[in-house]
Amino acid sequence: MRKLLYLLLLLSISNLSFPQNSDEEVIRDIFDNVLLSDVAYNNLDYLCEYAPGRLLGSEESVIAVNFMKEYFENLGADNVFLQEFSTPAWKCNSTEVSFLVAEKEVKLRADALGPSLSTPENGLLADVIEVQSLDEVKTLGVENIKGKIVFYNRPVNLKLVNTFSVYSSAIDQRYYGPRVAAEMGAVGVLVRSVGTRIDTFPHTGSTGFKDIKIPCAAISTVDANLLSTAMEKENGVKVKMKIDAEYFEQINTYNLIADIKGSEFPDEYIIVAGHIDSWFNSPGAHDDGVGCVQAADVLRIFKELGLNNRRSIRAIMYMDEELFQSGANAYLKYSEDNSINNYLALEADAGGFTPEGFSIDASDSIVNLISKYYELLEPYGINYIKKGGSGVDIGPLKQLGVPLMGYRTDPQRYMDLHHSAYDTFDKVHIRELQLGSGNMAAIIYLIDKYGL
C-alpha cells in the first residue's frame, strides 16, 4: 500500500513538474516562431521576381509551381504531388488602346480583359459611345450600339467602407459588360478599371462571355477620365484598339498539393489554400502570392514546432482562380473520384495586410464552436470569427458538405492594386504577412485538436 501511495505521489509531482502545454502557450510558441521567420517572405519575393504574370498555361505558372513543389519537398512534407487536369486557357501578348480626336492620337494605358478576342492585325477603329450601366446599353439597343466601341465608365462607389463592396459596386461592367455589348452588336469594349484609386494602372480581370466574343480591355481611371473629357469637348471621337491574344481549347496544368500526415486521423484532411496563378500584367504579390506562401508556412510551423497534428494538414496551391476557376473544380472532382474526406478548408485570398478575422461558411453549430477561439487569437490581431464567405477555390467543396473558412485582412488598400502591375512585392509588409501565417496556423491547430 505504501508503495502504491509513493508511486501516486511521484506521478503527481511529475505532472506538476511537466505540465502539458496549454493552448495559450502553444499559440505563443507559434507566434514566437513566425514573427522571427522570413521564410514565407522570401518565398513570395521569389514568386514575384521570377514568376510574375503566372496566368495558367504560362511559363511563369510552371516556374511558380515547381518552386513551391521543391519547397515542400525540402520541408519534408509527407506527400507532395501535382494534380493534373485539363482546361481551356488564354494568353495576352499585347494591348494597345488610343483615341483619335481632331487629327490627334492619344494613347491610353490599357490591359486586355480575359478571354478577350484579338482585333484584326492592324487594329480596330470605331466610334465610341460612353455608358454608365448595362441597362443603358440594353435601352440604347442595337440601332445605337452596333458597330461601335462601348465605353463603360461608371466609377466605383467610394462611399462604401469595405473595399470588396466598393469593387462589387462596379464589377458588373467588367464581367457582364462585354457580353451585353456584344449582344447589341458592339465591335469592342473599354471598361473603366475597377479600383479605389485615380491612377495610371489598368486593372484587368475576367469577363463572362457567352456566345459572342469581342475585343475588350480595361483602361486606367486616369485614362478613363481623359477619354470621357475628350468626348464631352469634341464630337467624332474614335477609339483604336489593337489586342493580340490567343485562346486554347485545352491545355494540361496542375494544382500543387502537399500534406503532413495526421497521427490519429490521417484520412481526414484540413485544407489550407491559396491560388498560385496571377494575371499576365501583375507580379501577384497580394493576389495571391501571399495566400500561397502563408498556406505553405502553416505546414512549416507544424513541422518545426512538432505540433503533432491529429488530422492531415493539406496545403493546396490552386491553379486558375483568376480566369476559369478550373483548378477549384478539378480538386472537387479529384475529391469525389478518390473519396477524399476533406474535413475543413481555409482559404487566404484577401491580401497580406493586417489581420482582421475569419469568416465561416458552415452550420451555425460549427460557427459557434470555432468562434469560441476568438479570445485565444484576439491578442494577435483577430477582431472577429463569424459567419460569412470563404473563397473562390474552396467554394465548390461546399457541395460535399465541407465547412469552409476565409482568412480576412484590412481591406482598405487591396483594390488599389488588385489585378494590376501595382501589386508588387514591395507592397507587402513582412510582419503583416507573418501575422497572417501565425493566425492561420493557430486556428488550424485548435480545430485539429478539438475537432468539429
Is 327 among the domain residues? yes
In sequence order, which residues have a C-beta less than 8 Å from that of residue 406 and are 6 or more positions away?
A: 346, 347, 348, 349, 350, 358, 359, 361, 388, 389, 390, 391
Is 13 among the domain residues? no
Both 124 and 238 in a single domain? yes
pLDDT higher at 393 or 11: 393
pLDDT-based confidence at residue 6 (cuts at 50, 70, 90): very low
Q: Is a pLDDT exceeding 70 seen at residue 151? A: yes
pLDDT of amino acid 282: 98
Both 205 and 294 in a single domain? no
Q: Which of 189, 222, 248 is the last residue before a domain boundary?
A: 248
Both 120 and 189 in a single domain? yes
Helix (H) or strand (E) holding 32: helix 23-34
pLDDT of amino acid 286: 98
Both 94 and 74 in a single domain? no
Both 207 and 270 in a single domain? no
Mean pLDDT of 293-299: 98
Judging by DSSP bridges, how do beta strands 265-275 and 104-108 pair with one another?
unpaired
pLDDT of amino acid 7: 41
Q: Which of 205, 225, 248 is the last residue before a domain boundary?
A: 248
Q: Is the peptide bond before 283 cis (omega within 30 degrees of 0)?
A: no
User: DSSP labels for 66-84?
Assistant: HHHHHHHHHHT-SEEEEEE
Q: Is a pLDDT exceeding 70 seen at residue 312? A: yes
Q: Is a pLDDT exceeding 80 seen at residue 5? A: no
Range of the domain at 123: 90-248
pLDDT of amino acid 13: 37
Both 72 and 97 in a single domain? no
pLDDT of amino acid 419: 98
pLDDT of amino acid 2: 43
Both 229 and 103 in a single domain? yes
Q: Is a pLDDT exceeding 90 seen at residue 228? A: yes
Structural domain count, the chain: 2
pLDDT of amino acid 135: 98
Q: Is a pLDDT exceeding 70 seen at residue 16? A: no
Q: What is the percent of the chain with per-residue pLDDT over 70, rounded to a whole number?
A: 96
Q: Is a pLDDT exceeding 70 seen at residue 67? A: yes
CB atoms inside a 10 Å sphere around CB 311: 24
If you search the block for the grid coordinates 495559450, which residue do you land on? 24
Cell of 383: 477582431
Q: Which of 248, 278, 312 is the last residue before a domain boundary?
A: 248
Cell of 304: 518545426
Phi, psi (deg, nearest 5) at residue 173: -65, -40
Both 51 and 107 in a single domain? no
Both 320 and 424 in a single domain? yes
Give me the CATH number covering residue 339. 3.40.630.10
Is 5 among the domain residues? no
Q: 29 in the Ramachandran plot: left (φ > 0), alpha (ψ -120 to 50) or beta?
A: alpha
- Give the SS3 label for residue 6: helix
Quote the mean pLDDT of the chain.
95
Mean pLDDT of 36-57: 98
Distance between CA atoms of residues 194 and 203, nearest Å = 6
Both 106 and 62 in a single domain? no
Q: Is a pLDDT exceeding 80 seen at residue 9? A: no
Both 52 and 201 in a single domain? no
Is 10 among the domain residues? no
Write out pLDDT tens, residues 106-122.
Answer: 999 999 999 999 999 99
Judging by DSSP bridges, how do beta strands 124-131 and 238-260 pair with one another?
antiparallel
pLDDT of amino acid 19: 39
Is 7 among the domain residues? no
pLDDT of amino acid 103: 85
Distance between CA atoms of residues 177 and 365, nearest Å = 40
pLDDT of amino acid 3: 43
Give me the CATH number covering residue 197. 3.50.30.30
Both 242 and 360 in a single domain? no
Q: Is a pLDDT exceeding 70 seen at residue 8? A: no
Is the CB of residue 153 less than 8 Å from the CB of residue 224? yes
CB atoms inside a 10 Å sphere around CB 112: 30
Is 256 among the domain residues? no
Mean pLDDT of 417-431: 98
Mean pLDDT of 90-119: 97
Mean pLDDT of 227-246: 96
pLDDT of amino acid 146: 98
pLDDT of amino acid 102: 86
Is 275 among the domain residues? yes
Write out pLDDT tens, residues 331-382.
Answer: 999 999 999 999 999 999 999 999 999 999 999 999 999 999 999 999 999 9
Closest CA to 394 of 443, 300, 327: 327
Write out pLDDT tens, residues 182-214.
Answer: 999 999 999 999 999 999 999 999 999 999 999
Is 228 among the domain residues? yes
Helix (H) or strand (E) holding 326: helix 326-337
Mean pLDDT of 54-78: 98
Q: Is the peptide bond before 288 cis (omega within 30 degrees of 0)?
A: yes
pLDDT-based confidence at residue 239 (cuts at 50, 70, 90): very high
- Give the SS3 label for residue 392: coil
